[in-house]
Amino acid sequence: MAGHSKWKQIKHKKAAADAKRGAKFTKLIKEITIAARQGGGDPAGNARLRTAIANAKAENMPADNIERAIKKGTGELEGVTYEEATYEGYGPGGAAILVQVTSDNLNRTVASVRHIFSKNGGSLGEPNSVAWLFEKRGQIYVDAARYPEEVAMEAALDAGADDLMTEGDEHVITTDPSDLDAVRDALGAKGIASDNAEIAMVPKTTVTVEGKAAEQLLKLMDALEDDDDVSKVFSNFDIDADTLVAVEG
């Protein structure tokens, strides 16, 4: 069986390989801009901004793009004012879904998210309808092909991480949210490069979804992820790995 992390891994590879790379850059720029607006433009004193910049560099974003995004966030350059929100709902098979958005018009965004849910067999719920099924955790993603599991595990635990799980060709290192930046830096100092890091909403338990419901759920997840205003999507599904690859691969 495979869960949300495996789905995300496949989506990440597709985004790097096709026309969706531009959309990925747009979402990274939004994150840098809002991080700079909320915590200032100096990465040394802004952990969220440091993480956003590191993720952008991992995607080979030009330094000029990063600098412009920071200046738009601090007001040094004119730019769009973004707001953040989280929407909750259920997908086919009873899977709980959290949708984090960054938008310049939340009325437009919630209408779009509601339409995507209803079009793909899901339903948008009320606040706190599914949030309690998840917990906030720091997650760092490391290429398993470059670093053997035992090497990565030792480095992660020495760096202050809570755990490491290998999913496919990726190690997922879990931390306390407040330790994410420090653990990523400590891993780098030990020679362990990370592909990405984030504050994630991790399900406390999973829901098995099979057959047509699984296929429809994955289409819903893809449609949400592809919306320009959606920054992150989290779910508690557990789907047969063959079905996941067949739909997403």
14, pLDDT greater than 60: no
Q: How far apart are CA 61 and CA 70, in angstroms?
A: 13
Residue 23 falls in which region: left (phi positive, over 0), alpha (psi -120 to 50) or beta: alpha
244, pLDDT greater than 90: no
- Kindly report the backbone phi and psi dihedral angles of residue 165, in degrees, each rounded to the nearest multiple of 5, phi listed first: -125, 140
Query: pLDDT per residue over 162-196, tens digit each?
Result: 999 998 788 999 999 999 999 999 999 999 999 88
Is residue 127 packed enough to be buried (19+ CB in 10 Å), middle (13-18) or exposed (0-12)?
exposed
- Selection from 33, 31, 50, 30 nearest residue 42 by Cα: 50
CATH number of 83-132+205-248: 3.30.70.980
Q: What is the pTM of this model?
A: 0.86
Q: Where in the chain is the domain with CATH 3.30.70.980?
A: 83-132+205-248, 134-203
1, pLDDT greater than 50: no
CATH number for 2-74: choose from 1.20.120.520, 1.10.10.200, 2.40.50.140, 3.40.50.300: 1.10.10.200
**Percent of the chain clearing pLDDT 70 (strictly above):** 91
Looking at every residue in the chain, the average pLDDT score rounds to 90
Tell me the pLDDT band of 208, cut-offs 50, 70 and 90: very high
Q: How far apart are CA 53 and CA 29, in angstroms?
A: 9
Assign domain 134-203 to a CATH class: alpha beta
Query: pLDDT per residue over 147-168, tens digit each?
Result: 999 999 999 999 999 999 998 7
Query: pLDDT per residue over 59-75, tens digit each?
Result: 899 999 999 999 999 99
Q: What is the pLDDT of residue 42?
A: 95
Tell me the pLDDT band of 95, cut-offs 50, 70 and 90: very high
**Average pLDDT for 81-107:** 96
Evaluate whether 76 touches 86 at the Cβ level (below 8 Å). Answer: no
